[in-house]
Each structure stands twice: as structure tokens, then as C-alpha cells.
Structure 1
Amino acid sequence: MRDDMLKTRPPVVSPQQWEEARQQLLVQEKAMTRARDALAAERRRMPWQAVEKPYVFDGPEGKASLPELFAGRRQLIVYRAFFEPGVFGWPDQACRGCSMVADQIAHLSHLNARDTTLIFISRGTQADIARLKARMGWTMPWYTVTDDFDADFGVGEWHGTNAFIRDGDAIFRSYFINSRGDEAMGSTWSYLDITALGRQEVWEESPEGFPQSAPYKWWNWHDSYTPDAPPDKTWVAVSDAGEATFRTESGES
């Protein structure tokens, strides 16, 4: 197989030719980035589905309602993992694809800083889930479905990701992805881009009144976020300088 690959490899070129080829492809990549941003803007204008049924989950500290899963935040992302009797590898392992998703998740403090909670749910018991998390080194909140929540929101089996938002005591479903849509999940950005509020940065095209702040300024080390604290002045100066340099070098205005 290795010899066959070498026979069909792309041409080997000089550094200058390689950079020219990269710049040509970069035009398409930037177009795709802009298209992705436009698609996320459309998501922020999606209608919401009211969640009117009460749902109850088993958690590490006992029963929990859907509002409690938000953990005091405005948005909730729920990944339904396939971990239950009948899954290949049960009871020692969850679905291989769901496990890859779990392995890729960025530190949740960055999502939390954008008023967003991410959780996993499945039909395995809390004892099963605790054992699996310990074995795999996962730390995300993970609850057990006890009713029709997963089926009601498009994931009666296999896997899928739902996004919800609160408005006072009311809860709404704002978006849903599954199948290959889930394979892109894992980064802070990919999760925020499927939420009703998005990344909440001023460059985004969002409906009037949506919360937005300057990009880069809200970023922090994952162990240093302080709720409602203003951006660190030193970091603001550093990020401003870095952004100005980047724009100058890339030829952007």
C-alpha cells in the first residue's frame, strides 16, 4: 500500500510553487469560512420550538429537571451518546463514534464563559456512566435519560446534538444536528456556532439586542475565568496589538 501511494502522490515542487498553490486554495478556504459564518447567522434566526413537557434525568446527585441541567446559564447543548444495553462494547464501552466525540471536547470553561452549558445524556445508569468516565478520563456532566426526552428531540437511538435556550422560566429548542453534523463538534467554536446566541462577538451578524462583546477580549486561561469580570486591561492591549499586526500582514483593513 505504501508503494502504491508513492506512485500516485502529488507532484513535488519548489517552496515558491508550493506557496502559490497554497494561496490559490486559500481563496476557496476563506470563501468556505465566510459561508460557514453566514450559515451560523441563519441559525441565529431560526424559529424556536417551545419545550412544554417536564423531563426528569438521573444525575450524580440524584434527580434533575431540564431547567436544572442549564446550571444557571442561558444556553444548554445536549449530546445524546449511545451508551446502553445493545451497544457494541457494552457495558465497558460506549459507541466508538460517541467516544471519539467525547475525546475531542475542548475545556468546558470556555463555553461556560459564553453562558453556555454542555452535557451528555444516555440511557446507561449513573453507575455505568461513572465507571465509563473514570476509565476514559472524561469530565463532562453526564445524565441518564428516564423518559422520552431523547425520542422527543430526534435521538431515540444513536446520537445527536440539541441546543436549547432559556427566556426566563421558558425553555426553547433552538437547533439540532446529527449524523455527520456531529463529527465537526468538539471545539468551543463549533458548539457556539450551533447555538441561538452564537459566539456573541461584535463581528457576527446577529439579530438586534443579542449579547455581543469584542473578539479575543473575553478569552482567558481555563482556570482563570471570573463571572461578570471585565476583560483584563493588559490582555486587551496585547490582543489589540496582535490583531493589528495580523491584519497588516494579511492585507486586511
Structure 2
Amino acid sequence: MASEYYTRREMDFPKVVSREEFTAARKKLLESEKELSRERDRVNAERRALPMVEIEKDYVFDGPDGKLSLVDMFEGRRQLIVYHFMLQPGSHHLCPGCTMLSDNVGHLAHLHDRETTFAAVSRAPLAEITPVHQRMGWAFPWYSSEGSDFNYDFHVTLDADVVPVEYNYRTAEELEEAGLGWMLGEQRDWHGLSVFLQRTGRVYHTYSTYARGTDLLNGTFNYLDLTPLGRQGDGFFSPSREGME
């Protein structure tokens, strides 16, 4: 299958030029890269300045040491990043995108040193999460939100019988209009990321992102984006996936 892919892409290989022509083209690209860096800095600052909403609902999660609250998940730190891992109850399907992203989570000590905790949350029961967690060897904590409204309230479980459907800030009608009506089928759980801040025991929701908004977490994709062949596929996280930006 890989050989078929490379054969298909031969026509897309960059043309061969002199070192002088390459350097001129590279300098031109460098200006675009600098512009992108400046724009990214601007967007990052805008993200940090977003207003926040206090979490007033008492969510209860299951972890290896028993029941815990959202504030417990901070582990005493000021910030919490939650990755909404696609694993719904009774499913034997391990999302390849979530798995690849989880494989790319770095050494947690660097986040902890900056008062930030990273954890994954899924709707599957802990008994189904634990074997996967152990088999994959991931170091980050992974909790179950089974029985709580957490997945629904943060719009990573789409069920109109529980809450109005919304994904990536689009209603069910808007998803249909964007050609994403397939997301409203039997597969109800989707991926995303939410950020929380705590102050004196009170928890605030500061940010959530979905679809390709999680690209920055995937180091493999960021490496591949530097190469001529790019990400080499049309998966859920692919830039070519229409409507998933």
C-alpha cells in the first residue's frame, strides 16, 4: 500500500533546480514563515485574552484511585488541559487519530513545571479505559466521565436527546450544510480539547477546540508538514478533509 502511495505521488515531487534557485525560493518562503509566526503570536495572545466561564456543575469522574471532581484533576496546579479521547462505552474501536495524538504527548514534567496538568477523558467506563491505557503505555492520567454530563456539555458527545447537537461551534444544521452530516450517525463521540483554570478552588473554562484545532498537539504531523510528502494520507486530521478546519 505504501508503494502505491509513493508511485501515485511521484508526479508531485519538487522539481530539481540549482542551489542558487533553491536559495532564492527558500528565502521567499522564509518571509511567509515569518509572517505566519507573527500571526500565530497574535492569535495566541487573542486566545489568552478570551473571557472565561465559571464551572458551576459538580462533575464526577472515575479514576484509578476512585471518584474525583474536576478540581481534583488539576492535581494542585493552576491549569488543566483535557483531551477528549474518542472512546464511547462498549466500543472496541480505538480511534487512530486520538491514539496517534496521545502517542505524541511529551514529557509531562515540562507542563507540570509550568503549573499545568494534562489528562484525557472519555465516556467509556474505567474498566474499558484501563486496559487500553496500560497496553499503550501512556503516562498521562485518563479518566472516565461515564454517568456525567461532561462530554455532552463540552460537545464531544453528540446526542440531541441529551443536549442540542453542536460540534466545533456548529449546530446540527450547520454541520449538514458544511457536508459533515456523517458526524451525526451512530458514532456519537468525537475528539476535542478543553482548557480550565482554577482560582481558590473555583474552576473556569477558558478554551475549547475541535477538529483540526488539535493539530498543534500532534508532533508527528508538525514534523511531516516540513517534508515534501507531507502527512501522506486523508485521515480525520488531514488538511484535505473538507469542512474539518
TM-score past 0.5 threshold: yes
- Output the amino acid matched with 1:74: R
- 2: CA distance, partners of 1:105 / 1:3: 32
Amino acid of the structure 2 residue aligned with 1:33: S
Q: Distance in 2 between matches of 1:138 and 1:82?
A: 16
- Shift in Å at residue 94 of structure 1? 2.0
- Cα distance in 2 for residues equivalent to 1:3 and 1:148: 48
Is 1:48 paired with 2:52? Answer: yes
1:78 aligns with 2:78: no
- Give the alignment of 1:15-30 within 5 angstroms: 15-30=19-34
8 Å Cα contact 2:84-2:121 kept in structure 1? yes
The one of 202, 216, 222 aligned to 1:184: 216
Q: Which residue of 1 aligns with 2:183?
A: none
Residue 153 of structure 1 pairs with residue 185 of structure 2: no
Q: Deviations over 1:10-56 (max 9, x none)?
A: 32112232122111101101110110110010011111011011111
More displaced stretch, 117-126 vs 70-79: 117-126
Rounded to whole Å, the distance in 2 between the matches of 1:8 and 1:76 is: 42
Which residue pairs with 1:39 in the alignment? Answer: 43
Task: Tell me by how many angstroms 1:68 deviates.
Answer: 0.4
1:163 is aligned to 2:199: no
- Counterpart in the other structure of 2:241: none
Alignment partner, residue 132 of structure 2: 132
Letter of the structure 2 residue corresponding to residue 62 of structure 1? G
Cα separation, 1, equivalents of 2:11 and 2:86: 41
Describe the shift of the 1:86–1:26 C-alpha distance in structure 2 as closer, same or farther (beyond 3 A).
farther
Q: Does 1:111 align with 2:143?
A: no
Residue 10 in 1 paired to residue 14 in 2?
Answer: yes
Contact 1:57 1:65 in 2 (8 A): yes
Where does structure 1 differ by over 3 angstroms across 4 or more consecutive aligned residues? Answer: 1-9
1:155-214 superposed Cα distances (whole Å, 9 cap, x missing partner): 222111000001112111000100111232146xx9xxxxxxxxxxxxxxxxxxxxxxxx
Q: Which moved more, 1:67-76 or 1:77-86?
A: 77-86
Amino acid at match of 1:170: R
Q: What value does the CA root-mean-square deviation take over the aligned residues?
A: 1.9
For residues 109 and 186 of structure 1, the distance between their equivalents in structure 2, rounded to whole angstroms, comes to 18
Q: What is the TM-score when the length of structure 2 is the normalising length?
A: 0.70
Question: In 2, are the aligned partners of 1:106 and 1:186 still within 8 Å (CA)?
Answer: no
Distance 1:169 1:38 in 2: 31
Aligned-residue offset at 1:126: 1.9
- Which amino acid is the alignment partner of residue 171 of structure 1? V
- Cα shift at 1:140: 1.0
State the one-letter code of the partner of 1:138: W
Cα distance in 1 between the residues matched to 2:9 and 2:199: 55
* Residues 147, 17 of structure 1: alpha-carbon distance in 2 compared, 3 angstrom cutoff: same
Provide the C-alpha distance between the structure 2 equivalents of 1:41 and 1:49, rounded to a whole number of angstroms. 18
Q: State, as a whole percentage, how many aligned pairs show the same letter.
A: 41
Deviation at 1:3, TM superposition (A): 5.4
Q: Judge conservation of contact 1:80–1:160 (CA < 8 Å) in 2.
A: yes
Q: Which ranges in structure 2 are unaligned for 5 or more consecutive residues? A: 158-188, 223-245
Bigger Cα displacement from structure 2, 97-106 vs 112-121: 97-106
Change in 2 beyond 3 A, CA 1:19/1:76? same
Deviation per CA, 1:110-150: give whole Å up to 9, x if none: 11111000100002222222210222221210000030011
Read off the aligned partner of 1:31 and give its amino acid letter. E
- In the comparison of the two structures, how many residue pairs are matched? 184
